[in-house]
């Protein structure tokens, strides 16, 4: 285990976006094979799945041949785990609607440490390494236990290493409804007007509880030296017809910054530690310790540049749960396999929405299912 741990750490210490794609792939491929071996020795069910894979991972020549697990499998109860219960340090849960089960991700100490480091390494490449006042557009979670943590908390905590002080500018009532604490926010803004500041919130929370109330007051925080990071996706803003451009314009207006200071990043609890911020050209990139494969739904082969497909995320970070090779339920377009104008090496891509759920129907009206991706 120590040897594997050292190898992962070495990969984490590489420049996250500096390696040529071939070098990244060969390094990742070998390490992922070792991690599969490690995982199979610890989980009989997972081993059975891997053993039935059409390609033997031990002889696989490319990362796309390795056995990936559909992300929905992480909703299993009890959670899929490669470590004994006494070594589980924390369980992360994904956000889920009432009709869905959340994913449950078990973290041991080494995986937890790597995931924190992974987030920092990536975020540092986008916002710099300095520590600064950290404004969280959310409410402090007094009820959160040490053992279990949700997606929002995980994202907030992931950026904590960049904070000199942390201020939560929302409060929640007994029903969990959020409201802006304008007094607290104003004090924070007045205190840090000239400082470099980090702001983070879930996308829909920023819109509903920061942009809308400040816009109603015609208020502006006048925070020019700021980086606003947000994540969580756009689904909850679709009903309000809020698209990215409008979101950025309005958020920049109430914060008082340029819209280029706003960074949307994609991250999932199931692959925490590997986040995908937008570069200045609107593309997302995979770090040296992870990879993204966009698969053609018809063949499950990687798509050509410009094509859409189902996103698979790869990460060497987890060793406590099967999160190394995950087929997600998201659709993305591969922009290029290398050469993004931002200078980051490797694949660049853009998310294009969720995979529509397939419903089992007998002679059913499946017009929605018929819509092809590309």
List residues binding another protein (CB under 8 A): 44-46, 48-49, 52, 54-55, 65, 68-70, 72-73, 76, 80, 297-301, 309-310, 327, 329, 331, 355-367, 369-373
* Closest approach of another protein to the CB of residue 327, in Å: 6
- Tokens standing for residue 39: 């995982």
* Closest approach of another protein to the CB of residue 364, in Å: 3
In terms of CB distance, is 68 or 162 closer to another protein? 68
235 contact partners, CB below 8 Å, separation of at least 6? 354
DSSP 87-150: G--EEEE----TTSPPPEEEE-HHHHHHHHHHHHHHHHHHH-S--EEEEESS---TT--SSEEE
In terms of CB distance, is 300 or 336 closer to another protein? 300
DSSP assigned state of 58: G
In terms of CB distance, is 83 or 229 closer to another protein? 83
Peptide bond between residue 78 and the one before it cis (omega within 30 degrees of 0): yes
Rounded CA separation 100/149 (Å): 17
* Closest approach of another protein to the CB of residue 374, in Å: 10
Q: How many residues does the chain have?
A: 374
* Closest approach of another protein to the CB of residue 145, in Å: 28
The β-bridge relationship of strands 163-168 and 178-180 is unpaired
In terms of CB distance, is 161 or 297 closer to another protein? 297
In terms of CB distance, is 275 or 327 closer to another protein? 327
Of 221, 212, 210, 211, whose CA–CA distance to 186 is shortest?
221
* Closest approach of another protein to the CB of residue 131, in Å: 40
């Amino acid at each position: 285990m120590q040897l594997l741990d050292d190898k992962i750490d070495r990969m984490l210490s590489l420049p996250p976006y500096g390696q040529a794609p071939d070098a990244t792939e060969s390094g990742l491929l070998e390490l992922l094979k070792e991690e599969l071996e490690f995982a199979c020795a610890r989980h009989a069910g997972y081993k059975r799945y891997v053993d039935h894979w059409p390609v033997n991972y031990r002889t696989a020549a490319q990362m796309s041949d390795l056995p990936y697990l559909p992300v929905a499998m992480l909703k299993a109860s009890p959670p899929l785990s490669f470590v004994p219960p006494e070594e589980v340090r924390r369980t992360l849960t994904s956000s889920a609607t009432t009709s869905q089960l959340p994913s449950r991700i078990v973290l041991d100490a080494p995986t937890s440490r790597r995931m924190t480091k992974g987030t920092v390494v990536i975020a540092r490449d986008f916002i710099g390494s300095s520590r600064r006042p950290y404004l969280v557009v959310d409410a402090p979670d007094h009820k959160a236990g040490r053992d279990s943590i949700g997606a929002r908390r995980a994202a907030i905590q992931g950026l904590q290493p960049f904070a000199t002080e942390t201020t939560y500018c929302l409060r929640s009532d007994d029903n969990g409804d959020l409201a802006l604490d304008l007094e607290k926010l104003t004090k924070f803004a007045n205190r840090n007007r000239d400082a470099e500041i980090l702001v983070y919130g879930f996308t829909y929370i920023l819109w509903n509880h920061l942009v809308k109330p400040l816009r109603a007051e015609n208020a502006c925080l006048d925070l020019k030296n700021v980086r606003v990071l947000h994540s969580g996706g756009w689904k909850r803003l679709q009903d309000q017809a809020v698209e990215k451009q409008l979101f950025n314009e309005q958020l920049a207006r109430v914060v008082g910054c340029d819209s280029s200071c706003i960074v949307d990043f994609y991250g999932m609890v199931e692959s925490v530690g590997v986040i995908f911020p937008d570069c200045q050209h609107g593309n997302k990139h995979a770090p040296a310790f992870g990879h993204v494969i966009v698969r053609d739904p018809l063949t499950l082969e990687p798509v050509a540049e410009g094509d859409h497909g189902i996103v698979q995320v790869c990460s060497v970070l987890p060793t406590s749960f099967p999160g190394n090779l995950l087929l997600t339920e998201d659709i993305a377009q591969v922009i290029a396999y290398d050469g993004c104008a931002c200078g980051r090496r490797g694949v660049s891509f853009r998310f294009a929405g969720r995979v529509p759920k397939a419903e089992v129907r007998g002679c059913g009206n499946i017009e929605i299912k018929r819509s092809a991706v590309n």
